[in-house]
Chains A and B, each alone.
Chain A
Amino acid sequence: MTRYIVRRLLATVPVIIGITFIVFAMVSFAPGDPIELMLGSETVNPEYAERIRIELGLDRPWYEQYLRYMSGLLRGDMGRSIVYNRPVAGQVKERFANTAILAVSSAIFALLISIPLGVLAAAKRRTWIDYTATTLAMLGVSLPGFYLGLLLILLFGVRLGWLPITGMGAAGSGAWEYIKHLILPSITLGSGMAAILTRLTRSSVLEALSQDFVRTARAKGVREKTVLYKHALRNALLPVITTFGLQFGSLLGGAVITETIFSWPGIGMLAVNAVKQRDIPVIQGTTLVFALSFVLITLIVDIVYVFIDPRIRYE
């Protein structure tokens, strides 16, 4: 098992190098002059442009720039924001926890909805429960996240006035106030994942129920409930866990939209503002942090997998 984990860890090294290279290359190999891109195409003071060019090392050949970029990253230096003239790393650090909390609470929402619903739909196959669950899942997959978010704001924020619709609440206003601010963004962000995982849980439980070991268990006279939860669900959860890890990528992408709608001060909002202001170092920094977080999540999922599915150790 240790060997598997070590191998899995080593496999992420080229991926991380690839990610940093793409993030780096976005600017260096982009068409046009990066300085012009950052400062706008209006005529800027050429002296100022030249100073920034040298400051950012853009006058050096690309491999030298990349090495410089990498050695900066290893020291925790992601460059400076052009608009705010402060380190990108500091800006990302301030906001990282907010995005992490939003992402985790959305994922928990998705799991709490999808697994029970998927199991129920499979167990009560071809009944109204199954049809309702699969229809809901289909609607959830097709609903754009930003549309759902705005509809929730219109309904619960504006019409009913039950829940706050922007920000995280004033500091020190208590945990309940904080949770209230988290509810609508989490539903918005988590519903897509909930829909996908519901469909998957359902089909995967159905598949498990048709396997020989379930027939054996039933033949032994094991109670149907035990068959469902102990025999079928445990095996059915394996693909669900894999997809959960993969779907975390869409969750992080969705965080950009959700944070924008609800003015949630996370790295997604930071990224959107950076794009609007053409603040290239911040765009690079946020993209990198999102990608690395995703790599970390898939890594954790893969390692957790080994503990749940002992068969993988022998491969």
Chain B
Amino acid sequence: MSKERERIEETEGTIRSEFAHVVQVFFRHKLGVLGLVMLVAFVAIAIFAPVVAPCDPYEMDLANPFLPPGSPGHILGTDNFGRDMLSRLIYGSRISLLIGIVVVSISSVLGSLLGMVAGYYGGWVDALVMRLVEVFYSFPFLILVIAVMAILGPSIFNVMWVLGVVSWPLYARLVRAQVMALKSEDFIKAASALGCSDARIMFRHILPNVLTPVIVSATLGIPSAILSSASLGFLGFGVQPPTPEWGAMVSEAKDFMLINSNMIIWPGLCIFLVVLSFNFVGDALRDALDPRLAKQLN
């Protein structure tokens, strides 16, 4: 009994220390910590937008358009309709973060499932999934997204699911390679010999072992989803004005570029900072979770 408990405590100990190690490596990464701090700030701003924002982001004041930064009541000035810049940016953070997270959730779950099935069953299932991956990969990403958005029509809902569905192949390829390597491991053979069902082997035994690279890729997938959705907004095919989406805001600002550059600078800067902070965190996370790769690079 006591021996059993000792053993359990021992494994718990290694698990805890592994986690501690990951945290330690992550926090050694100065830019990763900076990114994390920035991200926490962005998330807090997004959650508490109604509290933090000084004005209603949709409220127009046609008597006061293009106010410069530092104007009374409008720290970052106003846009062409006299709407408060800062409030629009604050509400915009909700949209970008939401799109990034939803897109990556869709693509990582869909891609991992397909990749797992392809890697586990092999044969024609694998061939079919991989041909599909190849075809998807042979489209320039943004072009395919624009074409599909053109057919479905612009809306925030379409942005999320189109970006999500189109970016699954990355995760499928990643998971498939891992599953194929794991399949010949003894513990999988043992599970199979014990009569575990395919689903149980895949979800209980394989899935936890392929999760690490998926998490790293997903963290780095969020900023690219945010960039893509901002690009769509900029082209006018994504989230539509007057919704304060940052890309759409830059697009609106473009028309007044020559008389007022203030309107372009801020929303663009916000996209840049959010993407940068996710990239910092993603890089640090990769170093922490994937020591083999990190060792190669440092």
Please list the residues of chain A having a beta carbon within 8 angstroms of any beta carbon in chain B. 14-15, 18-19, 22-23, 26-27, 30-31, 37, 138-139, 141-147, 150-151, 153-154, 158, 203, 206-207, 210, 249-254, 256-257, 260-261, 271-272, 274-276, 278, 280, 283-284, 286-287, 290-291, 294-295, 298
B297 touches A206 (CB 8 A): yes
Q: Which residues of A contact B296 (CB under 8 A)?
A: 203, 206-207, 210
Q: Which residues of B contact A15 (CB under 8 A)?
A: 131, 134-135, 138
Q: Which residues of B contact A280 (CB under 8 A)?
A: 150-151
Q: Which residues of A contact B264 (CB under 8 A)?
A: 147, 150-151, 154
Q: Which residues of A contact B120 (CB under 8 A)?
A: none
Q: Which residues of A contact B215 (CB under 8 A)?
A: none
A139 touches B276 (CB 8 A): yes
B151 touches A30 (CB 8 A): yes
B142 touches A154 (CB 8 A): no
Please tell me the number of chain B residues within 8 Å of chain A, measured between CB atoms.
45
User: B228-262: which residues lie under 8 A (CB-CB) from chain A?
Assistant: 230-231, 234-237, 247, 250, 254, 257-258, 261
B257 touches A154 (CB 8 A): yes
Measured CA separation A260–B146 after assembly (Å)? 14
Measured CA separation A242–B261 after assembly (Å)? 39
Closest to A30 in B: B151
In the complex, the number of residue pairs spanning A and B with C-beta atoms less than 8 Å apart equals: 146
Q: Which residues of A contact B150 (CB under 8 A)?
A: 274-275, 278, 280, 283
Interface string of B126-163 (1 = CB under 8 A from A): 00000110110111111110111111100000000000
Q: Dominant SS at the A interface? A: helix
Measured CA separation A144–B147 after assembly (Å)? 20
Residue in A30, A147, A254, A284 whose Cβ sees the most chain B Cβ within 10 Å: A147
Interface residue B203 (Cβ < 8 Å from any Cβ of A): no
B235 touches A272 (CB 8 A): yes
Measured CA separation A143–B264 after assembly (Å)? 14
Going nearest first, the 5 A-B pairs with the smallest beta carbon separation are: A253-B142, A18-B135, A147-B268, A142-B276, A252-B140
A256 touches B151 (CB 8 A): no
Interface residue B102 (Cβ < 8 Å from any Cβ of A): no
Also in contact, A256 and B142, with CB within 8 A (given A15-B135, A142-B279, A278-B150): yes
Q: Dominant SS at the B interface? A: helix
Q: Which residues of A contact B258 (CB under 8 A)?
A: 158
User: B254-298: which residues lie under 8 A (CB-CB) from chain A?
Assistant: 254, 257-258, 261, 264, 268, 271-272, 275-276, 279-280, 283, 296-297
A256 touches B146 (CB 8 A): yes
Closest to B268 in A: A147
Min CB gap B21→A, angstroms: 22
User: B158-180: which residues lie under 8 A (CB-CB) from chain A?
Assistant: none
Min CB gap B76→A, angstroms: 16
Query: Can you show 28 pairs from A to B with CB atoms below 8 A apart?
Result: A15-B135, A22-B139, A26-B151, A138-B31, A141-B279, A142-B276, A144-B230, A144-B231, A144-B247, A144-B268, A147-B271, A147-B272, A150-B250, A207-B297, A249-B140, A250-B141, A252-B140, A256-B143, A257-B234, A272-B235, A275-B147, A283-B147, A283-B151, A287-B144, A290-B139, A290-B140, A290-B143, A291-B138
Also in contact, A144 and B227, with CB within 8 A (given A18-B131, A27-B151): yes
Q: Which residues of A contact B57 (CB under 8 A)?
A: none
Measured CA separation A31–B283 after assembly (Å)? 40
A145 touches B231 (CB 8 A): yes
Min CB gap A257→B, angstroms: 6
Interface residue B115 (Cβ < 8 Å from any Cβ of A): no
Measured CA separation A283–B144 after assembly (Å)? 10
Q: Which residues of A contact B100 (CB under 8 A)?
A: none
B143 touches A271 (CB 8 A): yes
Residue in B138, B148, B237, B247 whose Cβ sees the most chain A Cβ within 10 Å: B138
Interface residue B77 (Cβ < 8 Å from any Cβ of A): no
Closest to A249 in B: B140
Closest to A246 in B: B137
Q: Which residues of B contact A23 (CB under 8 A)?
A: 147
Interface residue B92 (Cβ < 8 Å from any Cβ of A): no
Min CB gap A180→B, angstroms: 20
User: B45-60: which residues lie under 8 A (CB-CB) from chain A?
Assistant: none
Interface residue B221 (Cβ < 8 Å from any Cβ of A): no
Also in contact, A138 and B280, with CB within 8 A (given A144-B268, A146-B250, A291-B140): yes
